[in-house]
Amino acid sequence: MNTHDTATDDAQPRHFLDVDDLSAEELSVVLDRAGEYKRALSAGEDHAHLHRKTLGMLFQKASTRTRVSFETGMTQLGGHAIFLGADDIHLGRGEPLKDTSRALSRYVDVLMARVFNHENVEVLAEHADVPVINGLTDDAHPCQTLADLLTIRERFGGFEDVSAAWIGDGNNVAQSFVLGCALAGVELTVATPPEHAVDDDTLDRAAAVGTSPETTGDPEAAVEGADVVYTDVWVSMGQEDERDSRLRRFEGFQLNEELLEAAPDAAVMHCLPAHRGEEITDGVVEGERSIVFEQAENRLHAQKALLVELLGPE
């Protein structure tokens, strides 16, 4: 919360709208802190570093993991979170986003938003006096990437010599993963149909912070020898009208047992929710190599570390 009567009035909040808002060093600090919070939680040690802080959580789209991991995380850090469904507040009745942002900034210490247009998190950030966290837009899902990188680091002990393959839609989750891999130094190949490739801006930004991924239209070539194979839904929230054409274009991109023969030791990742029988088979989600629920759990630890990074310990 910014009370507007203190010397902090001129301080600019730090936002997290995509992965490259962190430097490689900051990413490493956040992941280390996430690991420490995970250990402290399982040891029953107090780590209430955000005592009396409040997180506002604005949702224009559905969520299971993001909502519950942020709210639980704030409780574990000694703070509090408020769920704000767009239709429960005046935003859904036409109050401008910039007014919503300025009003909420007077109450809460940090805002997290899940919206459709990416520009809307930028508008929120432009007008907020508190840090704004992107909880998923049509273009990016950076909180997911923090959890994904934590999961990869736990599995392989680091990022050096780890190779990953993204199969399917070059969507929001893919684009933030591209940036995260570039920043962390994970070698990545992205296989998508040409109509659903990762956008050029993301590839340029990846090159600016590390190495841009190799791109291909051939899922088998991408998976060959990979340590990690990652996919996400073919029809994201808000794309339901395009369902039939999308399913046709993604034919041959399913992450199934046959495709995984090209990478016999690969760990399988999915941000969830999964549409079994579309982008991934039930057998692969439930199989021994699946680490999808480790990813889901790590949302909690990674976001707690991010919140403390943006707000600073008490």
Rule CB under 6 A: which residues touch ligand NVA?
A: 136, 171-173, 232-233, 236-237, 271
| Alpha carbons 142 and 135: distance in angstroms, whole number | 7
| Alpha carbons 41 and 54: distance in angstroms, whole number | 20
* Binding residue (CB under 6 A) for ligand CP from 2, 66, 100, 290: 66
Task: Spot the catalytic one: 67, 114, 153, 301.
Answer: 114
* Binding residue (CB under 6 A) for ligand CP from 271, 280, 306, 310: 271
H or E segment and range at residue 114: strand 110-114
Range in contact with ligand CP (rule: CB under 6 A) among 59-67, 98-106, 126-134, 217-225: 59-67
Task: Spot the catalytic one: 49, 138, 232, 254.
Answer: 232
How many chain residues touch ligand CP (CB under 6 A)?
Answer: 8
User: Tokens at residue 257, please?
Assistant: 């047992």
**Hey, how many other C-beta atoms are within 10 angstroms of the C-beta on 300?**
22
Q: Does the annotation mark 204 as catalytic?
A: no
Shortest distance (Å) from residue 264 CB to ligand CP = 27
Does position 63 interact with ligand CP (CB under 6 A)? The reply is: yes
| Alpha carbons 304 and 191: distance in angstroms, whole number | 32
Shortest distance (Å) from residue 22 CB to ligand CP = 19
Shortest distance (Å) from residue 138 CB to ligand NVA = 7
For residues 199, 201, 205, 207, the Cα torsion angle rounded to the nearest 10 degrees is 70
Shortest distance (Å) from residue 83 CB to ligand CP = 12
Q: Does the annotation mark 265 as catalytic?
A: no
Q: Does the annotation mark 295 as catalytic?
A: no
Q: Does the annotation mark 39 as catalytic?
A: no
| Alpha carbons 56 and 82: distance in angstroms, whole number | 5
| Alpha carbons 44 and 38: distance in angstroms, whole number | 10
140 in Cβ contact with 134 (< 8 Å): yes
| Alpha carbons 173 and 154: distance in angstroms, whole number | 20
Binding footprint of ligand CP on the chain (CB under 6 A): 63-66, 136, 144, 271-272
Q: Which residues are annotated as catalytic?
A: 114, 141, 144, 232, 271, 299
